[in-house]
Amino acid sequence: MSRSRHDAVIIGGGHNGLVAAAYLARAGRKVLVLERLGHVGGLAVSAQAFPGVDARLSRYSYLVSLLPAKVVADLGIKVELRRRRYASYTPAGDTGLLVDNGDAGRTAASFARVTAGTAELEAWRRFYAMTADVAERVAPTLLEPLMDRAAMRDLVGGQAWRELFERPIGEVVDERFADDTVRGVVLTDALIGTFADPCDQGLLANRCLLYHVIGDGTGDWNVPVGGMGAVSGALAGAARAAGAEILTGAEVVAVDPSGEVTFRDADGEHTVRGERILANVPPAVLGRLLGAGEPAPEGAQLKVNMVLSRLPRLRDPDVDPVAAFSGTFHINEGRDQLARAYAEAAAGRIPELPPAEVYCHSLTDPSILGPGLRDAGAQTMTLFGLHMPARLFREDPAGAREAALRATLASVDRVLAEPIEDCLLRAPDGRPCLEAKTPVDLENEAGLPGGHIFHRDLSWPFGEPGKWGVETAFERILLCGAGARRGGGVSGIPGHNAAMALLS
């Protein structure tokens, strides 16, 4: 392996690196992928998290929206992305707001019950008609060379441009909606993995919301059948079938702008050369490999994976728990609750009532459960907690994790008719099936600086015309991970764009 030459050396075998490898190998290029861990997929993996429990959890990333159908078709991968019947359910006292993708009348009745009228539903429909139109216009551009700000403004149009790209999304939501619960549901998409005040003029929350509503031209968030590992497995298969070489257990330790890459595996240290180097790692990691400084970002989420023996009971007698937990189940994410939690975290405190949302993917894809668990009525539950910045976990990682988990479970219990812990499945060793991951855990386990799930703050989907948004200060080195412009989420877009930049 020492001094071997390749057309492209890809650092990191996450899903974006695999997309780039597949495109380049199909174009006849000699491609080498170097992955530090013993498996590919990065954060898009499935795992049996609890010994003796036959459940394959999407341990880190968990839903797919931004993966373009074009990438799936181009690479010929076989993966099923299943649409969720119910978009969301939000408890509100002894009732709740149910958004049913399959029954507009039921959604209207739920809005009327929670908001005491029709005005909020009409405002909801207008807002999401606007985002749907933006999705149709913007999504196709994500796989093309960048357009500049003026061209993007002309494409998007006047009102949508002002409300999504120029004004803080918090101000827009406060103007468009009057109900605190509805405002919160809309704003959560602006805060996933993003520690921001939605009224801040920096518009970081706007960028987060944009990527959460434009996925593949629809904004739908779908469940990958077989778990996230099925997506990465299909991409790895496509790359290998096209001729790409993938080495696992190969940790890159240095990169030279000339194209030299040094990595270490069980047999020692090796050096390879690439005409181009594609970095499927966070920009801060690439900076370290180059011997340069790069500011570390800050992630802001608490991820909790669970297996339940049964679904918990709701306080709302009119909604079946199967419907409530099939989509996104919002927990204490009202507008005021989000603002209060942000202020507490910004002051260095774990929020007293942490906002969160949960998803039971096994309701949409029972195949991730073994036959015994399915027959017994068990379900998976994934919780994503907001406003949990890495700074809260630096001084005492284990103690702060436990405190954040206790506060979050208490927050969940506030909206249920019974404690969530009463519904946890017990593993054969008697321990409850529950694990929590903080930003510091992601930093230590997955190599993400600051535990930032997008590698760094999200960027606008426009820039220097003719560029692909993957370029770096070094001609031979391209970004192909989430830290590229138009990166973030399980999308494959940066991998596609880095491959196109190389091929062009």
Q: DSSP secondary structure string, 412-462?
A: HHHTBSS-GGGGBPBPTTS-BSEEEE-HHHHHHHH--GGG-TTSS----S-
For residue 107, what are its two tokens? 């959604």
What is the set of domains in the chain, with CATH numbers?
5-44+65-80+224-297+454-503 (3.50.50.60), 85-116+302-444 (no CATH), 125-218 (no CATH)
The C-alpha atoms of residue 330 and residue 458 are separated, in whole angstroms, by 23
Instruction: Supply the pLDDT for residue 2.
Output: 54
pLDDT truncated to tens, each residue of the chain (504 aa)? Answer: 556 899 999 999 999 999 999 999 999 999 999 999 999 999 999 999 999 999 999 999 999 999 999 999 999 999 999 999 999 999 999 999 999 999 999 999 999 999 999 999 999 999 999 999 999 999 999 999 999 999 999 999 999 999 999 999 999 999 999 999 999 999 999 999 999 999 999 999 999 999 999 999 999 999 999 999 999 999 999 999 999 999 999 999 999 999 999 999 999 999 999 999 999 999 999 999 999 977 889 999 999 999 999 999 999 999 999 999 999 999 999 999 999 999 999 999 999 999 999 999 999 999 999 999 999 999 999 999 999 999 999 999 999 999 999 999 999 999 999 999 999 999 999 999 999 999 999 999 999 999 999 999 999 999 999 999 999 999 999 999 999 999 999 999 999 999 999 999
The C-alpha atoms of residue 147 and residue 61 are separated, in whole angstroms, by 29
Q: Where are the alpha helices (DSSP H) in 198-227?
A: 204-213
Neighbouring residues of 409: CB distance < 8 A, sequence distance ≥ 6:
419, 420, 421
> What's the burial of 211, exposed, middle or buried (CB within 10 Å: 0-12/13-18/19+)?
buried
Helix (H) or strand (E) holding 383: strand 379-385
Nearest to 46 by CA among 29, 64, 58, 62: 58
Instruction: Supply the pLDDT for residue 296.
Output: 87
Instruction: Supply the pLDDT for residue 294.
Output: 79
The C-alpha atoms of residue 247 and residue 35 are separated, in whole angstroms, by 6
Instruction: Supply the pLDDT for residue 110.
Output: 98
Instruction: Supply the pLDDT for residue 3.
Output: 63
For residue 168, what are its two tokens? 């803080």
